[in-house]
Amino acid sequence: MDLVVYDTFDAKKKKFVPVREGHVGMYMCGMTVQDRPHVGHMLAFVCGDMIRRYLEYKGFEVTYIQNFTDVDDKIIARANAEGVDYRVIAERYTKEYFKYADMLNIKRASVHPKATDHIKEIIEMIEALISKGFAYEAGGDVYYEIAKFPRYGMLSKKNIDELKAGARVEVGEHKRSPLDFALWKAAKEGEPYWESPWGKGRPGWSIECSVMSTKYLGETVDIHGGGEDLIFPHHENEIAQSEAATGKKFVNYWTHNGLLNLVGEKMSKSTGHFFAIEDIVKEFEPDVVRFYLLSSHYRSPMEFSRERLAESRAAVGRMANTFRSVEAYLGDYKPKGSLDELTGKDAEFWKKVQEREGLFRKAMDDDFNSAGAIAQIFEIAREVNLFLSAPETPGKKLTLARALEKIKELGEVLGLFKSLGGEIIRLEDLPQEVRQLVEERAKARKAKDWATADTIRTQLASMGYHLEDRPEGTVVRK
């Protein structure tokens, strides 16, 4: 089956053909590290991670680049407000990103380049754009001249004349046209700066992505991802910069995820409530949050609320029950024997599992339809539960053990069920520190101190340990 991918630029699904056979170059616009990551950021990175994992599952070698914008107006403003160097802010929130990315099972990129590590290459690309006539220097700033790039607006399908009418030149800017955007900004008093042919200054926002994408992935990349909110102007600017500089097509498939619709007053960005991922994982297990973020097609807008998360928790809980029941039935059984020699009911059951696996791939091949793929994993779980309650057959243990492995394997393709798939560790085999926390949590639960119990659960999750409270006691998985 061919993989088809929707491309925002061509506004249609296209058969996926990489530039280099067997290899995929994928660029993901990363965070501006100015604040704690919120769930909208993490949605984009979970979607990118899901696409990457599926490409790897299909056998592609994926080079995945996700940058950090580590110098920018907001970072500088925050640094000034706190009276610290901008690097303190950038490093703090870079760390925060990795902390929550790990919790949400987002794999590390092949490279996480930073803007400030690429100033030399940024200056080189700006010089090339000036010498080719696409950019001009004015008052220590350098601007990209939109009028020189007739394809501007083709990604976002925006009308340039209308945009121009709505835009304005800010005080202190020296643009020829209000839509021209800054490639280089002259340093103001007290701002961090680098030396350049145009005097002391720092890069504009979009230039770093063009530079890093070319440096790590070549002139044309297969996939470029990010939230829909980046289409204009950021990605439009990236195309204008890269295609003017190289003369080549910049991106073959633009994959933009739909945005989160925060439902309810308490979730508004301005009040900050229930929006930072830090707060969300205090209430909901990271596995549940990731499940929820992948439970719609990545291009659809998503409603985000406690109710929706609670539904996801229930679904993950049902899957946990299936794991539990099969594990209890299997005991210490170790799978042996071949699935090719199955007969009767065993063969019938295994055939159903394989059919569902095929449908899982079919859903993912259709523009990474994770919602459809998740539904197929649950269909396997449904078959497992039915077969579990069926009369004993010669291959029942073998097929159920293999079916459980299949659920784990397909879950792993989406980065799901991390907390269910891990090995169960006996309390006495846990590291001292972990064991102590598990015992403290048991005490808190006994005293009905749910807040403390939840805090400890989150702490253990960040250490890679997942808890399941069963009637006979708490089970810990790594």
Site residues for Zn ion per CB under 5 A:
29, 209
**Shortest spacing between CB 229 and Zn ion, in angstroms:** 12
| Start-end of H helices in 247-305 | 277-283, 286-293
Q: Which pair of tokens denotes residue 190?
A: 């007290």
Minimum CB distance to Zn ion smaller for 229 or for 469: 229
**Shortest spacing between CB 154 and Zn ion, in angstroms:** 17
**Shortest spacing between CB 213 and Zn ion, in angstroms:** 8
For residues 38 and 93, the answer to whether their CB atoms sit within 8 Å is no
| Strand 260-262 with 302-304, pairing | parallel
Pairwise CA distance, residues 342 & 349, whole Å = 10
- Show the CA angle centred on residue 459, arms to residues 458 and 465, nearest 5°: 85
Find where tokens 């210490």 sit. 332
Minimum CB distance to Zn ion smaller for 29 or for 413: 29
Minimum CB distance to Zn ion smaller for 43 or for 320: 43
Count Cα neighbours of 242 within 13 Å in the Cβ-side half-sphere.
25
**Shortest spacing between CB 115 and Zn ion, in angstroms:** 10
87 φ, ψ (degrees, to nearest 5): -65, -30
Minimum CB distance to Zn ion smaller for 46 or for 437: 46
**Shortest spacing between CB 234 and Zn ion, in angstroms:** 6
**Shortest spacing between CB 29 and Zn ion, in angstroms:** 3
Minimum CB distance to Zn ion smaller for 29 or for 302: 29
Minimum CB distance to Zn ion smaller for 144 or for 323: 144
Name residues whose C-beta falls within 8 Å of residue 457's C-beta, 6 or more positions apart in sequence.
285, 441, 467
**Shortest spacing between CB 226 and Zn ion, in angstroms:** 6
83 φ, ψ (degrees, to nearest 5): 70, 35
Preceding omega of 335 cis (within 30 degrees of 0): no
**Shortest spacing between CB 67 and Zn ion, in angstroms:** 7
Count Cα neighbours of 412 within 13 Å in the Cβ-side half-sphere.
10
Pairwise CA distance, residues 140 & 299, whole Å = 40
| E strand intervals along 16-107 | 23-28, 61-66
Q: Residue 111 to residues 25, 28, 418, 470: CA-CA distances in angstroms?
A: 12, 11, 24, 41
Minimum CB distance to Zn ion smaller for 174 or for 234: 234
Minimum CB distance to Zn ion smaller for 241 or for 296: 241
Pairwise CA distance, residues 348 & 5, whole Å = 34
**Shortest spacing between CB 384 and Zn ion, in angstroms:** 43
Minimum CB distance to Zn ion smaller for 237 or for 376: 237
For residues 283 and 39, the answer to whether their CB atoms sit within 8 Å is no
